[in-house]
């Protein structure tokens, strides 16, 4: 809650949003990326140039290239670490200045299909992560790695959404059917397992329960590891753990 309030209090609430912002909310993106874009548009991010404007006595130079004032237009569009990504995505950023940043973004939402605008949002989010790693961890990742990691995260998130919808539909279809645990055939052991993804922490977890055919508990465990996998891969790893 404190962080949220800090974010709100540091926003430039004098800005007037124009254009079709519904296109942004319609994009299939994780809530944290939507929220990040919202903060970016309202100048809520603690960019050095903005902090200096608000009266903080700090260096306002870009945290990534040390060549220009760290504003939204520089860091997210023109910084040498970033510019080639926009060119690769065929999105024109030439001449976009700080006071035209929101107009540029609305234009991108209007001109390009959802898959391109989703990638544009993901790139903006990746640049912010890349910049923060430079500032706080004092080492430099490759932006391309951060972006690729973001793409994997986005795919996993979308996959999980489909799974939830499919599961909801299945639940509705079989509403009258029992969901009680069903024992295995005589002499067989039964193993139930489930995987969980924690994309933000780059972790995954699994829970496993092994029972006799009559239902008696034999063993079980719940564990988390570092790594980034799809839900199917996590379930396969859980199965391997059971068999090893």
d(CA 222, CA 35): 32
- Comparing CB distances to Zn ion, the nearer of 82 and 108 is 82
For the chain, helix (H) and strand (E) counts, in that order, are 10, 3
In the chain, % helix, strand, coil (3-state, to 5) comes to 50, 10, 35
- Comparing CB distances to Zn ion, the nearer of 73 and 119 is 73
Q: Is 36 helix (H, G, I), strand (E, B) or coil?
A: helix
79 binds Zn ion (CB under 5 A): yes
Give strand pairing partners of 61: 69
Q: Which helix (H) or strand (E) holds 226?
A: strand 217-226
Complete DSSP assignment for 191-202: EEEEEEEEGGGT
Please pick, from the candidates 11, 52, 61, 65, the single residue that binds Zn ion as defined by CB under 5 A: 65
Name the minimum Å distance from CB 42 to Zn ion.
Answer: 22
62 binds Zn ion (CB under 5 A): yes
Span interacting with Zn ion, options 21-29, 77-85, 117-125, 137-145, rule CB under 5 A: 77-85
Q: 233 CB contacts (<8 Å, ≥6 apart)?
A: none
Q: Is 15 helix (H, G, I), strand (E, B) or coil?
A: coil
Name the minimum Å distance from CB 69 to Zn ion.
Answer: 9
- Comparing CB distances to Zn ion, the nearer of 69 and 119 is 69
Please pick, from the candidates 44, 45, 64, 154, the single residue that binds Zn ion as defined by CB under 5 A: 64
Name the minimum Å distance from CB 113 to Zn ion.
Answer: 29
Span interacting with Zn ion, options 1-9, 29-37, 74-82, 189-197, rule CB under 5 A: 74-82
- Comparing CB distances to Zn ion, the nearer of 81 and 104 is 81
127 binds Zn ion (CB under 5 A): no
- Comparing CB distances to Zn ion, the nearer of 37 and 62 is 62
d(CA 195, CA 232): 8
Give residues in contact with Zn ion (CB under 5 A): 62, 64-65, 79
């Amino acid at each position: 809650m404190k962080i949220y309030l800090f974010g709100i209090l540091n926003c430039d609430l004098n800005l007037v949003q124009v254009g079709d912002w519904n296109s942004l909310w319609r994009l299939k993106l994780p809530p944290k990326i939507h929220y990040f874009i919202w903060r970016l548009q309202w100048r809520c991010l603690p960019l050095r140039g903005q902090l200096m404007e608000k009266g903080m006595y700090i260096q306002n130079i870009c945290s990534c290239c040390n060549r220009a004032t760290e504003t939204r237009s520089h860091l997210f569009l023109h910084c040498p670490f970033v510019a080639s990504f926009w060119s690769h995505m065929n999105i024109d950023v030439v001449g976009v200045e700080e006071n035209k940043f929101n107009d540029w973004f609305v234009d991108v939402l209007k001109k390009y299909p959802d898959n391109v605008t989703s990638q544009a949002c993901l790139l903006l989010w990746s640049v912010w992560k890349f910049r923060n790693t430079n500032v706080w961890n004092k080492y430099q990742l490759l932006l391309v790695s951060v972006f690729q990691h973001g793409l994997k995260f986005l795919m996993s998130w979308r996959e999980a959404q489909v799974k939830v919808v499919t599961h909801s539909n299945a639940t509705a279809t079989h509403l009258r059917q029992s969901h009680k645990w069903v024992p295995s055939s005589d002499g067989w052991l039964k193993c139930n397992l489930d995987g969980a993804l924690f994309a933000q922490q780059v972790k995954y977890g699994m829970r496993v329960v092994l029972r006799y055919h009559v239902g008696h508990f034999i063993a079980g465990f719940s564990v988390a590891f570092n790594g980034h996998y799809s839900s199917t891969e996590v379930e396969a790893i859980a199965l391997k753990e059971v068999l090893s």
